[in-house]
Every structure is written in C-alpha cells, then in structure tokens.
Amino acid sequence: MEGPLAGVRVLEVANWYAAPAGCALMADLGADVIKVEPPGGEALRGYLGPGTESTYNFVFELPNRGKKGMTLNLGAPRAREVIERLLPETDVFVTNLLPYRREKYGLTYGELIEHRPDLIYVSLTGYGSTGPDRNRPGYDYAAFWARSGIMNSLGEPGDPPPPQRPAMGDMTSALVAAGSVAMALLARERTGEGQEVDISLQNTGIWVMSADLTRALHGFDGPKPSRREMPNPLWNSYQTKDDRWIQLVMLVPDMYWPQFCRAIAREELEKDERFATFQNRAVNREELIGILDEIFAARTLEEWDKALDEQGIIWAPAQTLTEVVNDPQARARGAFAKMEHPNAGEVEIVDVPIRFGKSEVGVRGPAPQVGQHTEEVLLEAGFDWDDIVKLRDEEVI
C-alpha cells in the first residue's frame, strides 16, 4: 500500500537540518519531494563531522534521503520563472529562508499563491516569521536549546550547562513540520484552501519545556534541582559499580516503594519511619539518596537489570549510542533501515519513527547527488531542452 502522503508534491528551498529533515519525513511517508540547492550543492554536503566518510556523508543523507534534487541559483534573474513553472504541480512549499531573503528572491507566501492559490506554504526558521527577531539567524543550539530555557534548566547547580547533541532541536522541529503539513493538507481537503504554516525552533523548544514553563507562567521559577535534592528519590538517577547510570522513574512512588525495597534487597527500609511515605521521603530525601547511592554503587548494571525487572520497577539504563543501535527493542520496532547507496553500497540509516497498520512508510532511497534530477524536474514542468541549455548558459541551473 502507498504511503499516506502519496501523490503530494513538496518543493523544498531549504538547507541544513530542520526543514530538510521535515521534508525527508514527508518523503518517508510517500510524498514526492524536490530539493532545490544552489549550484555546487548546499553547505551541509561539505560538512565532515566525526565518523563521516567521503563515500557516504551520513550527516547529509539523514535529512535528505528519498528526495529528487535540482540546482537553482536563486539570485539569477530567471530563477523566479523556474519556481513559478514548478508551482502549479506543487502542493507544499517548504523553506527555511529568513523573511528578508524570501522577500529578496520573491518567495513570500503572497507572491507564490498567485501561481498556486491553494498552496500550503511552510517556513521553519529559528525565531519564526513575526516578532522583533524574525530576521535573526539561529541554529537549534541557539534558538531551540538556549533561548527556550532547556539549556539553563539542565545539569547540576553550579556546573556549566550541558551542550545539546547535534540536531536535537532540528529533528524535533522536523516532526512538527511533517505533522503540520499533514494537518494543513486535511484542512485543504475540507475547505479547498491552502494556508501559511509558520514554525520556529524557539517555539518548538518552548513546547518541549511546556511543563516547566507553565509553572513559570504562574510565578514558580525556582532554581534547578540537584539530583542530590530530588523531592522524590525514586525519580532520580544513580551510578552503578561499573560507572554506568540508571534512571528511576516512579512518579507515584508509594505504589512502588515496597517492591523497590525488595529489588534493592533492603526490605527493612519499607517500614522505616523516615521513608515510609512520599512526604517522609521528601523531607529526608538527602539522607535516602545518600543511602541509595551506596546501594546502587555496590552492584553492576547487569546485576541491577535483573533485580529491578524482577520487581517490575520502572527504570532504564543510560545507554551508549552503540548500545542503542543494538537494542533488541529498537531493532524489533524497525528503528533502523537498510538502503542501497550509490557510492557506499548497503548502509543503515535511522528510519521514520512512525508505523501505520496499512500505509507503507519508510526510507525510500538515498539523498540525491548535486543536481541529479534537474533536467527531469524541468522537463516535467514544461521546459524543453533548448530552455534547459539556455538556463545553464545563464547560470540559472
């Protein structure tokens, strides 16, 4: 069966991660995605982070798999003509250009709907298309991680805040983009009208922090807690004998307290007046956390794995990346997909995180090479070979 977005054409004028990753998800869901890059390719193609290889730049492949690729010099006089010729067959236009650049290239929502009135126009930028920072550049490390309050809320008090891992905010925002397009398509089917969809990395970060920020809206913006002072010691992290970390997550701790005491082989703590209730454990939390630190430090992660599971404790190990890619549950869920790459042969890549009962979803192929489908896309848009030659001569493509 086809993917749920089969028959939908997406035109992507975007670079780096968030917006392209949203379009990659749409391709995974069956959409026909055309990626527009400058001649020579976008900057991410040249990014070589740790572990990348010349034959397979996974940093670029992940947010660009399954797309068709064409080159277009947006600054050339006839570039706008090319975009206009592509629009009648385009359902969704996606860009991460800042508002002033959209205006510069004639790619604003108001200008494009002249050529496709029911177009769904998606912009995904650091700070959105409105407000004083609308033209402020911002990667997810800045707009999502730092500006939203996430960065300052993590880590131990007094220690430097932790850095974000690559593309965390981008990939979160990519899910927002793909979901927003699906909803906008549904609305268009019901009303016949397209619309503008405005997404920002900062707003996505604010949504991720919404539980904390809701408290802040009501005046509760206290200091970030230390793990040594967590009011609920059964919702905390502990280090094992082999220097691994365990995360306990028992949000209703009284329900689990008896079996937890059995799991740690300290049944006498269950009736200890200092720890017998949630309130008592909160009052005496530093003392209990100190006791639990010693207990967990006496056994290895492997030993705790069995002991905690036997008592039905809600917990998880802090896994390494290598452990994640070999996790039996992740493998059973198809978290990773194999695909054939023209240079590297068969490779694995992170698959779309959604499963449908009937619709077919998943990675549909590698990222395009620079300009791989330029002629194909232009011919489909009604250009002939003479036109294409002229566009090349004028350095439009």
Catalytic positions: 170
36 φ/ψ angles, rounded to the nearest 5 degrees: -100, 125
CB 170 within 8 A of CB 201: yes
Q: How many CB atoms lie within 10 A of CB 324?
A: 11
List helix spans (H) across 209-345.
210-217, 253-263, 278-283, 285-296, 301-310, 321-325, 328-332
CB 89 within 8 A of CB 167: no
Angle 218-222-227 from CA coordinates, rounded to 5°:
130
CB 156 within 8 A of CB 128: no
CB 25 within 8 A of CB 383: no
CB 182 within 8 A of CB 22: no
The DSSP call for residue 160 is P
CB 53 within 8 A of CB 86: no
Q: Could you tell me how many residues make up the chain?
A: 397
Q: b/e for 174-185, b at 16 or more Cβ within 10 A?
A: bebbbebbbebb
Largest CA distance in the chain: 87
**Nearest in space to 57 (alpha carbons), one of 364, 356, 368:** 368
